[in-house]
Structure 1
Amino acid sequence: MNDTALLSVADPALVREVFERTEHFVPSNALTAVTELSPQALRILAREGFALPPILASASGPEHLRVRRIVAKFFSPAKVGAVAQNIRDIARSSARLSADQLAAQGRSDLAGTVAADVPPRIMGTLLGVELPDQRLLKIWSRDSLELFWGWPDQERQLQLAQSAAQFYAWLRDSVRHAQGQQNLWGVLGATGVPEREICSLGYFLLIAGQETTCLLIQTVLYRALRDPAIWEACAGGSQDAAQKFVKRVLATESSVHTWRRAVTEDTELGPHTLPAGAEILLELSGEHLAADPYGHKLAFGYGLHRCLGARLAEMEAVIALEETARALPDPAALAVTECPESHWLRLLSFQAPLKVEVQS
């Protein structure tokens, strides 16, 4: 599938309508590879038993709701609230590491310290799952995003498929060792969800639950460093300033800026007449949402498929901004390196600067 064939829907009201009309617009294409995978890449995945049957983000109907309710319990307001101090402690430690690097070496990449550290550690805590080494998890996650939402040529597909197969193999072993445990994998299995479905859910949940939040934090820090008034307000302890700024980034350039849906039958959507089988691209974040006081919420989807970790991701971004600004309180003393376009992640549904480098 080529994304140029997708109808882009930018009007927030129409985006919400698509999410609401679940009988006409389904998520069957949400996780489909943008670029058709070569037979060689598919063989690499098949050798590892790689399979992504529909569940949660790519499913609908009663089973989707049943599984969603189970997963939602691991991201309840009480559980997210309980890790708030943990988030702050990790962010503060990582921000201090950046300050130490800046003092000792004259530079620090906030993407590799603060942004990379907070989400995976918190995700492992909430799910009750011991995650792999953070550097390896990041490679697997980033490669999977490119494989399914990028435009890799056939040679690059082979490299990405090897990485995705390794990720899947680790995940399958993690699921099998979770039998009888009270972590997410064990609870899903105890309720009758088959191993293949748990692996399918876990594959993208782990990516969405930590990598896309890392990317969000990178964008938040990158943009805030270019706004001295915002940075100084956050350094001074203004939680309101940090919260408003994160909402602005979510509304204008969230790390997950588009999502896909497929049309089940001939139907109308605003001025558009859509035939059965058509595929549409929903704009979840963009300049057109900046004036909407609730525009930031669309960055996490809407309705039955709204991201279960929305509150967590927003909290992590706010705290990361606050603690980094406090650790590096003088924006005038920081030389912020411009991230060239070649160092931005630009995929169909994901975007972020890959480096957030500051120099003294």
Structure 2
Amino acid sequence: MTSPALPAPAPAAVSTEAPGPDPLGPDPLGLLGLDVFGDGFVRDPYPWLDALRSDAPVHRDPVTGLWLVSRYVDIRRVLLDPAAYHPDNAQHSVVPLPVPVLRVLARAGFKLPPALANNGTDSHHGLRRVVTRFFNAQRVAAAVPVIERIADELLDAAQARLDATGSSDLFASYAQILPCRVLMELLGIDGVDPATLVRWSDASLELFWGRPDPERQLELAALVGEFHQWLTATVGDTEARPGSFVEALRRHELPDGRPLDVATAVGACFFVFIAGQSTTGQLIATTLHRALSEPGLWPRAAHETGLAEAWVEEVLRREPPVTTWRRVTARSVDLGGVALPAGAQLLLMLMGSGSDPEVFEEPERMCPYRANARHHLSFGVGRHRCPGASLARTEAAVALRAAARRLPDVRLTEADQEPPILGLLSFRAPLRVGVTR
């Protein structure tokens, strides 16, 4: 059974230890062992990504069986050639799901046919058009007051916790919840608690993109099953709010004129809900943490016109929440000088492409207003480029500016200078942004 994507952290998915050996030793891709789930890679992936890019830009990882593609030019080529590189595996589970887990999902009626990220068929364009109507420039601009209002409400609570206890975690109380509440308002979703949606979304990420142990897999599968059943009931509700995302899906017709089936509509909702809340929450968390870590940036972000937006763009380039994405070769191809057979499973190292020195000068430096900052591939490129890119950028910039204004005198707690890190195959972010005064 295959599944989709898009963090409730499991022990196997979280890195809290000190970094491992320097991967730039005498045999960085062999004797020392590259492990994309390992603590060393999760904590500091850049030396590994640099080594891959310079020494083995198309490298078969013996642990996962995936071909790691790390140069900007090769990743862009793959994303722009959907005929040769199919998206079919984009939402498959990273590790095979054992029979007990498959039974839990089957009892919940879980299935996700091609809809958006994993859809290479002719139905993709129409479904994508439905989604983009809810995230186009006009809607995002109109949503700014909504984002600001929700941010202020959440910051009221964070400020109260700071006053009462001396510290507050801006990840759990702010970065995670803000995009979920915004998404619910924009898509016309109600009748469910935001914290529940976050928990379902994060469980889906961990089950399909992580390497949890069997006991944890069963716990996650139960939550994913609940999520899928709620989505199915929501899509099938004949009383869907007029003008809502669900109502738009219910009215959508496939290329052959048939109405969109419930399973595909659920698959579209599954992807949009997870991408719109979990990955955006991860982006906000990284944006806040990096801003608090950069000397002098936090007070400037509160009032300097355009700085919050420029900072978000640099975070997306250097430390994006979506670190990798997958493709499968439709035929034999030559990529980066390596002959790949049909059916080769590729892992596009999006995070590494943003630090490619052939494209970005001094890539290790965070440089707001970098001239070519938006050339990064963190939202993809081509027909599968993230339809919610504009909303994610806007939410992260508003979140940074609002937090810097409301909490001008905060700093990271000593413990959260190096917080635990979400370390899934395609997702990475701090799991705490603890602040104090």
TM-score using structure 1 length = 0.94
Residue of structure 1 in register with 2:37 after alignment: none
Q: Which one-letter code corresponds to 1:349 in the other structure?
A: S
Alignment of 1:54-133 (within 5 A): 54-130=114-190, 132-133=192-193
Q: Which one-letter code corresponds to 1:233 in the other structure?
A: R
State the Cα distance separating 1:335 from its structure 2 match: 4.5
Residue of structure 2 in register with 1:327 after alignment: 406
Determine which of 209, 214, 230 is the counterpart of 2:297: 230
Cα distance in 2 for residues equivalent to 1:228 and 1:95: 23
Contact 2:136 2:390 in 1 (8 A): no
Alignment of 1:168-179 (within 5 A): 168-178=228-238
For each residue in 1:176-213, what CA deviation from the matched residue of structure 2 results, as whole angstroms up to 9, or x when unmatched? 11566432222222221100001111112101011110
Alignment of 1:185-264 (within 5 A): 185-191=246-252, 192-235=259-302, 237-264=303-330
Q: Which one-letter code corresponds to 1:70 in the other structure?
A: V
Residue of structure 1 in register with 2:381 after alignment: 302
The structure that is helix-richer by fraction is 1
Q: Which one-letter code corresponds to 1:276 in the other structure?
A: A
Contact 2:88 2:327 in 1 (8 A): yes
Q: SS at 2:351's partner residue?
A: coil
Cα distance in 2 for residues equivalent to 1:161 and 1:296: 37
Gaps of 5+ in 2: 3-61, 253-258, 364-371
Residue of structure 1 in register with 2:332 after alignment: 266
For each residue in 1:123-150, what CA deviation from the matched residue of structure 2 results, as whole angstroms up to 9, or x when unmatched? 1122222262121111111111010000
State the Cα distance separating 1:295 from its structure 2 match: 5.2
Residue of structure 1 in register with 2:67 after alignment: 7
Q: 1:53 to 1:320 in 2, by over 3 A?
A: same
Cα distance in 1 for residues equivalent to 2:193 and 2:92: 27
For each residue in 1:210-247, what CA deviation from the matched residue of structure 2 results, as whole angstroms up to 9, or x when unmatched? 11101110111111111131112112x11322112111
**Do structure 1's residue 347 and structure 2's residue 424 form an aligned pair?**
yes
Q: SS at 1:281's partner residue?
A: strand
Contact 2:200 2:223 in 1 (8 A): yes
Determine which of 317, 328, 331 is the counterpart of 2:396: 317
Q: 1:178 to 1:227 in 2, by over 3 A?
A: farther
For each residue in 1:70-106, what CA deviation from the matched residue of structure 2 results, as whole angstroms up to 9, or x when unmatched? 2111111111111011111211232232222112210
Q: CA RMSD in A?
A: 1.9
Gaps of 5+ in 1: none
Cα distance in 2 for residues equivalent to 1:31 and 1:182: 28
Contact 1:10 1:282 in 2 (8 A): yes
Q: 1:86 to 1:200 in 2, by over 3 A?
A: same
State the Cα distance separating 1:112 from its structure 2 match: 1.8
Q: SS at 2:386's partner residue?
A: coil
State the Cα distance separating 1:113 from its structure 2 match: 2.1
State the Cα distance separating 1:64 from its structure 2 match: 0.6
Q: Which one-letter code corresponds to 2:381 in the other structure?
A: Y
Q: 1:341 to 1:221 in 2, by over 3 A?
A: closer
Determine which of 273, 276, 279 is the counterpart of 2:345: 279
Q: 1:312 to 1:178 in 2, by over 3 A?
A: farther
Q: 1:179 to 1:274 in 2, by over 3 A?
A: farther
For each residue in 1:246-275, what CA deviation from the matched residue of structure 2 results, as whole angstroms up to 9, or x when unmatched? 111111111111100000100111222111
Question: How many residues are matched?
Answer: 357
Cα distance in 1 for residues equivalent to 2:63 and 2:185: 36
Which deviates the most, 132-141 or 335-344?
335-344
Q: SS at 1:56's partner residue?
A: coil
Identity %: 39
Residue of structure 1 in register with 2:80 after alignment: 20
Cα distance in 1 for residues equivalent to 2:74 and 2:150: 39
**Do structure 1's residue 358 and structure 2's residue 435 form an aligned pair?**
yes
**Do structure 1's residue 136 and structure 2's residue 215 form an aligned pair?**
no
Q: Which one-letter code corresponds to 1:257 in the other structure?
A: T
State the Cα distance separating 1:322 from its structure 2 match: 0.4
Q: Which one-letter code corresponds to 2:300 in the other structure?
A: A
State the Cα distance separating 1:344 from its structure 2 match: 1.3
Contact 1:114 1:324 in 2 (8 A): no
State the Cα distance separating 1:297 from its structure 2 match: 4.0
TM-score using structure 2 length = 0.78
Contact 1:264 1:277 in 2 (8 A): yes
Q: Which one-letter code corresponds to 1:259 in the other structure?
A: W
Cα distance in 2 for residues equivalent to 1:221 and 1:99: 16
Determine which of 61, 83, 101 is the counterpart of 1:41: 101
Q: Which one-letter code corresponds to 1:353 in the other structure?
A: P
